Amino acid sequence: MIDSGFDPIIGALNTSMNLRLLNQNVISANIANSDTPGYKAKAVEFESALRDALGTGSREPTAASDPRHIVHHATDPVSPEIYDDPNGVESLDGNTVDRNSEMAKLAENQLLYDAAVEMLNKKLGMLKYAVSEGGGNR
């Protein structure tokens, strides 16, 4: 995991990439089990988990005014909910995986993961430039 203590954007991109990786694994498992009788397609509650991790939800941030309060920090691990996808149509053998839909989700998720990697690379490149060459006269 990348230390994001000094830059919240790096932390947000790191969290996004971790959630995208989990989503990729869930979608891949759905595709792998598309012919398994009785298998129920799974989905990840991605958006709300990312909002919670970044603290951008509709709730006001909790103040740690009492030591018993639980306050979420950007560096805390995120555990999104993985649930049976309610949108699946059950086939005759009880399977709810739509292979075409899952393949489209897989491609979309991969593109979004790649975009997050590219943004992280750009951000780290800017920081590297600022430290090495952009520091002014020596």
For residue 7, pLDDT over 50 is answered with: yes
Return the percentage of the chain with pLDDT > 70, whole number.
75
Contact 50, 20 (CB under 8 A): no
Question: What pLDDT is attached to residue 95?
Answer: 95
Among 94, 79, 80, residue whose Cα is nearest residue 43? 80
Mean pLDDT, range 29-35, rounded to an integer = 96
- Convert the pLDDT of each residue in 47-94 to its tens digit: 777 777 777 655 444 455 555 554 445 555 677 889 999 888 999 999
The DSSP call for residue 57 is: S
95/75 Cα distance (integer angstroms): 38
The set of residues, in sequence order, having a beta carbon less than 8 Å from that of 12 and lying 6+ positions away, is 4, 53, 54, 74
Question: What pLDDT is attached to residue 70?
Answer: 46
